[in-house]
Structure 1
Amino acid sequence: MRQNPSFTMTDVGEIRRLIVRHPWVTIVSSTDDGLIASHYAVLLDPDRDDLTILGHVGRPDDLLHGLGERELLVVVQGPHGYVSPGWYGDGTQVPTWNFVSAHLSGVPEILSREENLRVLERLVAHFEERMPEPRLMWAPPNDPALVERLERGTVGFRLTPTKVVAKRKLSQNKTPDAVETIIRELSGNERWANPELADEMRRAHEAMAAAKERGAR
């Protein structure tokens, strides 16, 4: 991902927030047979305060990716959407696409069977907690034999990225009036509405304004 100083996102807390809110990632590897991509859910490592993530792949994706043997790229895609040139007001403008994304690169560590079980249990609990009657991994009708069989079909990993490229392109280079118009259009009820992207823009621009105010003191 090409970086632009105006859109660079370096705040670890903000990147962690992105991963928490958008855990369905794309895992990309360059192999002897060419590029390969897979899609899985990941979690932040609860024992770390950096960008270490935990996850798993189903067999034989571990072999296809050469998991643990070579560098891979994890793409975290946050809110994104089309921005019409008509929202910028009069004058020559071009359409664009606003987005938040992070690329985490590194060689993952393969988890032991016991660690993988804990990660699978944590993953299920994380997504089930919002359900009215959570069905946890070890809960009936599942039995230990079933859970262990499911675990054997996966390979868990821990990735502490050695390279992070994160980008938040949210019209930071546009006028305040244009930004307000874009947020209003994305927040509406029309078919182009994108409330999540509007909220992300609002959050980013409020943070920029607060930082500018602090710098002026």
Structure 2
Amino acid sequence: MRQNPSFVLGDVQEVRRLIERNPWVTIVSDTEDGLVASHYAVVLDPERDDLTVLGHVGRPDEAIHGLGEREIMIVVQGPHGYISPGWYDANPAVPTWNFVAAHLTGTPEILSAEENYAVLGQLVEHFEARMPEPRLMEGTADDAAYAQRISGGTVGFRLTPTKVVAKRKLSQNKAPEVVDRIILELEEGEQYRNPELAAEMRRAKR
């Protein structure tokens, strides 16, 4: 991802927030057979305050990626959307795309079966916690037995990135009145309404 000093997202807490709110990631590996990509959910390691993430892949993805043998890149994609040149009130102007994204690169640590099972439980709890009647992995004896049985079909990992490239391109290089106009279009416009992206732009203005 091409970086630009105006758009660098260097705040670790903001990158953690990005991961927490956008846990469905793309895992990319450069293998002997070429590039490989898979899609899985991750969570931040609750015992760390950095950008370490926990996740799992379904077999045989661990073999396809050579997981644990080489670097992988985890791509986190936050809110994004089209920005019309008509919103700039300037001439000439061209369209662009606003977005928030992070690339986490490193060699993952493969978890033991017990650690992997615990991570699967954390993942379920992370998403189920907001439900009125959460169905946790060990909520019932039947659920626990079923989870134990199928967890063997997954391989867990922990990634502490050795390289992080994070970018928040949210029209920071535009005049304040232009930014406000773009936010208004994203919040109330008819063609490209995108409240989540508008909220990120408001956050970037602080």
Q: Structure 1-normalised TM-score?
A: 0.93
Q: What secondary structure, in the 3-state scheme, does the structure 1 residue paired with 2:166 have?
A: strand
2:2 aligned residue: 2
Residue 90 (structure 1) shift:
2.9
Which residue identity lines up with residue 49 of structure 2 in the other structure? D
1:215 aligned residue: none
- Determine if the alignment matches structure 1 residue 33 to structure 2 residue 33: yes
Q: What secondary structure, in the 3-state scheme, does the structure 2 residue paired with 1:9 have?
A: coil
2:94 aligned residue: 94
1:164 aligned residue: 164
2:133 aligned residue: 133
Q: CA separation in 2, counterparts of 1:90 and 1:9?
A: 27
Q: CA separation in 2, counterparts of 1:188 and 1:176?
A: 18
Q: CA separation in 1, counterparts of 2:75 and 2:81?
A: 17
Residue 119 (structure 1) shift:
0.5
Residue 162 (structure 1) shift:
0.3
1:24 aligned residue: 24
Q: CA separation in 2, counterparts of 1:121 and 1:144?
A: 10
Q: What secondary structure, in the 3-state scheme, does the structure 2 residue paired with 1:50 have?
A: coil
Residue 190 (structure 1) shift:
1.8
2:13 aligned residue: 13
Name the CA shift for 1:42/1:48 in 2 (closer, same or farther; >3 Å). same
Q: CA separation in 1, counterparts of 2:141 and 2:3?
A: 49
1:212 aligned residue: none
**Structure 2: tracts of 5 or more residues without a match:** none
2:81 aligned residue: 81
1:64 aligned residue: 64
Q: CA separation in 1, counterparts of 2:163 and 2:125?
A: 29
- Which digits, 9 at most, give the CA deviation of each residue in 1:126-145, with x for residues without a partner? 10011111111112373443
Contact 2:137–2:144 (CA under 8 A) maintained in structure 1: no
2:146 aligned residue: 146
Q: CA separation in 1, counterparts of 2:126 and 2:177?
A: 40
Name the CA shift for 1:143/1:181 in 2 (closer, same or farther; >3 Å). closer
- Determine if the alignment matches structure 1 residue 186 to structure 2 residue 172: no
State the Cα RMSD in Å: 1.0
- Determine if the alignment matches structure 1 residue 46 to structure 2 residue 49: no
Q: What secondary structure, in the 3-state scheme, does the structure 2 residue paired with 1:139 have?
A: coil
Residue 42 (structure 1) shift:
0.3
Q: Structure 2-normalised TM-score?
A: 0.97
